[in-house]
Amino acid sequence: MIDKKTLIKNLKLNDIVDDIFVVKFKKPVEQYKNGFKFELRLADSSGEIMYKFWGPNNEPLVQSIYDSIKDGDVVYVQGKMNEWNERLEISSNNDYEIHVIKEEEYDAKEFIRKTEKSIPQMLEQLNHYIDSIQDEELKKLANYFFKNESFVSKFKVWPAAMYIHHAWIGGLLEHTLNIVKTCDFIHKNHFKLNRDLMFIGALFHDIGKLKEFEISTTIKVTDEGMMVGHVMLGLDMVNRAMEELNVKEELRLKIRHIILTHMGEYGSTKTPSIPEALAVYYADKMDGDLDHMQDLMKNANTDDDYIYTKHYGNIYLK
């Protein structure tokens, strides 16, 4: 077993690199003045970094090295930390080594970011909210999933996304708990809303991500996720459970509506038509956006006061 030595976030300029990383994506071989080169995006549980291989004037040799590496492979890399356009990167050439290592030679968990919160504690909190559901039909529906050990063992470690927000081990649990907590707060200020229904919507709004993503050395979208998406996948999962439990039609309709409308303009076929759906939509959007913005700030890697982002425009860093 080959262990990681240094996390990407701890690498510094001029450090000698002798470590293992997962390949996130590849940029094709191209010519430069002294030969042929290629680039890889490498990652571990702490972040990502660009790797540049500066090869000799021997295109078949460089191409063969490039072709031996695939997205998702774990590679052993030797090189040196350099800086380009104010960003750190790993550079190497023929004097250094890069090769793919076998699956049994590494621990896949080394390469995916993990929640900074306690999974057992989050699960305990979530179960507390589930136990507080008063409507017996809705409580049975929640328990159908969350008292199922096989379901919970997967749900508690699953990511909520590939990149944008909560894209780490335990991210789906963390995000779901945040939405439930927000809905609980909303109910305290808007007590006429159906608290139990909001909780069910919060619990199930992203349940389809269990089928949308798969975990290996990276978080990947499944074929089902690519072609159907988590909204419809989740709706199908919950529909089957509601049919099995014979949930009354009025509740079924509202639960389906909350799941279908929670993505807003980013993937929903309908807009919220009941206040509980509106609450789940805004709770989901707020949690995702806040997490994303804070992550962008944390990884800005600049001395400037601001960074410009596609999603939020200028973000103030001080």
Q: What is the pLDDT of residues 205-223, one digit of tens each?
A: 999 999 999 988 888 889 9
Which of 177, 184, 176, 172 has the alpha carbon at shortest distance from 211?
A: 172
Instruction: Tell me what pLDDT residue 163 has.
Output: 76
> Quick one: pLDDT band at residue 299, thresholds 50, 70, 90?
low
Q: What is the pLDDT of residues 47-77, one digit of tens each?
A: 889 999 999 999 999 999 999 999 889 999 9
Q: Residue 252 corresponds to which amino acid?
A: R
Q: Say which CATH topology domain 8-107 has.
A: OB fold (Dihydrolipoamide Acetyltransferase, E2P) (2.40.50)
- The beta strands (E) that lie in the chain are given as 16-32, 35-44, 47-54, 74-84, 87-93, 98-100, 213-215, 219-221, 306-309, 313-316
Q: What is the pLDDT of residues 10-23, one digit of tens each?
A: 999 899 999 999 99
Written as one string, the DSSP assignment of 259-278 is HHHTTGGGT-SS---SHHHH
Instruction: Tell me what pLDDT residue 266 has.
Output: 64
Q: Do the bridges between strand 47-54 and strand 16-32 make them parallel or antiparallel, or are there none, so unpaired?
A: unpaired
Which of 24-33, 141-150, 164-173 has the least mean pLDDT? 164-173
> Quick one: pLDDT band at residue 268, thresholds 50, 70, 90?
low
Please state the domain extents for the chain: 8-107, 112-298
Span 277-295, mean pLDDT? Answer: 88
Going from the C-alpha of 206 to that of each of 28, 36, 122, 155, 316, the distances in angstroms are: 35, 45, 17, 10, 30
